[in-house]
Structure 1
C-alpha cells in the first residue's frame, strides 16, 4: 500500500523552561538558523530590552531594533530597516504586539523568524497570523510560522500577571471556536481538519482542567505549550479556524467599536463563554465559567468596562468582522432585542456559577 502523508510546517525548536534565553546562541547555531549571529533582534518596550542586553554578548554580530505598538506602519518601517543589510534571521523579543510586527516584517523580507516570548497573552507566539492595526482597524495577516519558539519562564514570571492570565482566556476560546467549526461543517459542509482540531482541543482541555495557577511553573508551562499548540493547529489547517470563531468575532468587534477596552485574550474568553451559552451547552458553560472565575478573568461585559448595550452592539457587529466565517452568531442571526434578552439570561445563569 502507498504511504500517504502530508507535510506540515512547524518550528524546528521549541523550548519552554527557566533560563531558556541563555541558550539562544546555541539554538541558532545548532538549528543552522544563524551560525555567526548575523540576526536582527527586534525588541519592544518593557522586558524586551532587558532580554536583548542579556543576549548581546552571545550575538555580537546582531543589530538591535526597537518597535513600539502593533501597527502595520510599524511593521512596514521595520521591513525597510531589514533591507539595509543581509540577515540570517529575525529574533523577536517581547509580547504579542512586538512579535506580530516582527513576524510580518520577516515574512515580507523572506527571513526566518525566532520568537522569544516574555508574556503569554495570546497564541500569536507560534501562529502563522499577525494581528496588526491599519488605519485604526485591527486586521489579521498571514505570515510564516516562527522557525523557533522560546519561552523563558523567568521573564514570563517577571512580566505583568494580567498579560499572562489573558492567555488563559485565549486558549479556552478554542473550545468555542471548535464548536463553531463543527457547526459550520454540519450546516455548510465546511472542511474540518481533525488533526488541527485535536491540537487545538488538547491545549484547551489541559488548561481547563489544570488545578494550578499563574504562579505555578507547571501550570505556566502547560499554558505556554497550549498557546504554541494553538499556533501549530492554525498552521496545519492554513487558517485561524481551529482557534477563532464567534468568540473572536466578538473580540474584534469590541476592538473596533471600543478600542483599548481589554486585551485580546480577556475578550476572547468572554466572547467564548457567551457563545457557549448561546449554544446551549450547559456542561461546557459551567466548566469554562469556573475556570475563568478561578483565574480572575472577565465573564460579564461590566468586567471589561462595557455596558450591556455596548456589548449588544458589539455582538450585532461581530459577524461583519469575519464575513466568510460561519459561527453560532451567524446561525442564530439575533436581533438586538433578542441579543439583549439572551444577555440577561446569560447574566442570570452566571449567578449560579459564581465562585
Structure 2
C-alpha cells in the first residue's frame, strides 16, 4: 500500500506581532507548554534587565539566565544549569546566538524550547540547527525544532537596523540554494524534497518583490514569516539543503578565513548573488542584485571589506566547509585564475546595471 501522507515536526505555536514578550505567560499557557510559568528564560547580556522587567509580573516562577551565547562551551554551561532545575520548558529570547545557545542546551536534556526572536538576522529562529563556535570554528549542531516561535516586533524595531536587514540576505540565498539542489539532482541523482523546496522558495520570492522596508510592520512581518518558513523547510527534509548551497559554503569559508568580516545573512546574500552569476541565470541575478541594493546589503567583496585575493581564497576553500554538498562551486571546479576572471566579470556586470 502506498504511503498516503507523512508526519512532519512543526512548532506548536507561531506568532509574529508587537507585545509578544510581555504576553509570554499567556502564550505558554495557551500552547500547553507551561501552565504555571515554571520555565528557564535565557537572555543575552544586552536585553536582560528590560526583559526581566516585562516578565516579572506574569512569570513569577521563571528563572532568568543570562548567557554570552554563541559558543558550544556557553551552551554546555547553560545545559548544566538547566539540569539542576525543574522546568517545563526553556525560552530563548534574543538574537541568533542566544536562541541557538538555548536550543542546544534544551535539546541536551529533552526540554521543550520556545524561540523568541528580537532580531531577524537569519533563519535560525525556527530551524532544527544550532550554529555554535567550537575551538574558533563555527559548526552546525542538530537540535529539536522549537516548540514555539515568537517574533516581537517591538524589540525588532528598536534593534540594530543592519542586523535585521541581514535576514533579507539569508532569505534571498534560498533561491541559489534551491538551484544548487536541483543541480545536485541532475548531476548526482540527489533526491529533492518538494515540500521543503516549496516552503524555502515562497519566502524568498516574497522578499524579491515585497514593497517597504524595515520601518514597515507589514514588510517586517513577511520577513519574519519567510525566515520561519525557511527553518521549517530544513526540519521537513532533515537537513539544511533547502536553504544552504554554494552561498553558505562561501559564507562559512569567509567566517573561517576572515572572522568577523560581516554577519551570516550579509555574507549569505553576497554568496548567493555570486553563485547565481556563476550559474548564468541573468534574470535571477538582476532580481537579486536589485533587491540587495534596495535594502543596502553587500553585493561585492569590497562591500564587506575583502579584496579580490581574499574572496578568491574563500571560494577555493568553500567546498571544504560542506564536503558532502554538491553546488555550482563544486560543479565548475574553478582554478584560482578562473575565479579571478569570473569575479572581475561579476563586478563589471554589477557596475553596468
Q: Does TM, normalized by the shorter one, top 0.5?
A: yes
Equivalent residues of 2:170, 2:269 under 8 A apart: yes
Report the counterpart of residue 294 of structure 2 in structure 1.
294
Q: How does 1:165-204 map to 2 (within 5 A)?
A: 165-204=165-204
Q: Distance in 1 between matches of 2:301 and 2:234?
A: 28
TM-score for the superposition, normalised by structure 2: 0.98
Report the counterpart of residue 305 of structure 2 in structure 1.
305
Report the counterpart of residue 30 of structure 2 in structure 1.
30
Report the counterpart of residue 336 of structure 2 in structure 1.
336
Report the counterpart of residue 45 of structure 2 in structure 1.
45
Equivalent residues of 1:253, 1:314 under 8 A apart: yes
Report the counterpart of residue 230 of structure 2 in structure 1.
230
Deviation at 1:47, TM superposition (A): 2.9
Report the counterpart of residue 129 of structure 2 in structure 1.
129
Report the counterpart of residue 56 of structure 2 in structure 1.
56
Report the counterpart of residue 152 of structure 1 in structure 2.
152
Report the counterpart of residue 117 of structure 1 in structure 2.
117
Deviation at 1:3, TM superposition (A): 7.0
Change beyond 3 A, Cα 1:292–1:328: same
Change beyond 3 A, Cα 1:147–1:348: same
Deviation at 1:237, TM superposition (A): 0.4
Deviation at 1:46, TM superposition (A): 2.2
Name the SS of the counterpart of 2:93 in structure 1: strand
Deviation at 1:58, TM superposition (A): 1.2
Name the SS of the counterpart of 1:298 in structure 2: coil
TM-score for the superposition, normalised by structure 1: 0.98
Q: Distance in 1 between matches of 2:273 and 2:79?
A: 38
Deviations 1:158-185 (A, max 9, x none): 0000000000000000000000000000
1:4 pairs with 2:9 = no
Instruction: Return 5+ residue gaps in structure 2 as ranges.
Output: none
Deviation at 1:53, TM superposition (A): 2.3
Deviation at 1:48, TM superposition (A): 4.7
Q: Distance in 2 between matches of 1:291 and 1:106?
A: 37
Deviation at 1:55, TM superposition (A): 1.2
Q: Distance in 1 between matches of 2:98 and 2:69?
A: 7
Change beyond 3 A, Cα 1:2–1:184: closer
Name the SS of the counterpart of 1:310 in structure 2: helix
Q: Distance in 2 between matches of 1:49 and 1:287?
A: 42
Deviation at 1:21, TM superposition (A): 1.9
1:162 pairs with 2:162 = yes
Question: Which deviates the most, 74-83 or 38-47?
Answer: 38-47
Equivalent residues of 1:123, 1:230 under 8 A apart: yes
Equivalent residues of 1:13, 1:147 under 8 A apart: yes
* CA RMSD between the two structures: 1.0
Q: Distance in 2 between matches of 1:17 and 1:343?
A: 41
Q: Distance in 1 between matches of 2:319 and 2:304?
A: 21
Instruction: Return 5+ residue gaps in structure 1 as ranges.
Output: none
- How many residue pairs are counted as aligned between the two chains? 353
Runs of 4+ residues deviating >3 angstroms: none
Equivalent residues of 2:69, 2:75 under 8 A apart: no
Equivalent residues of 1:47, 1:118 under 8 A apart: no
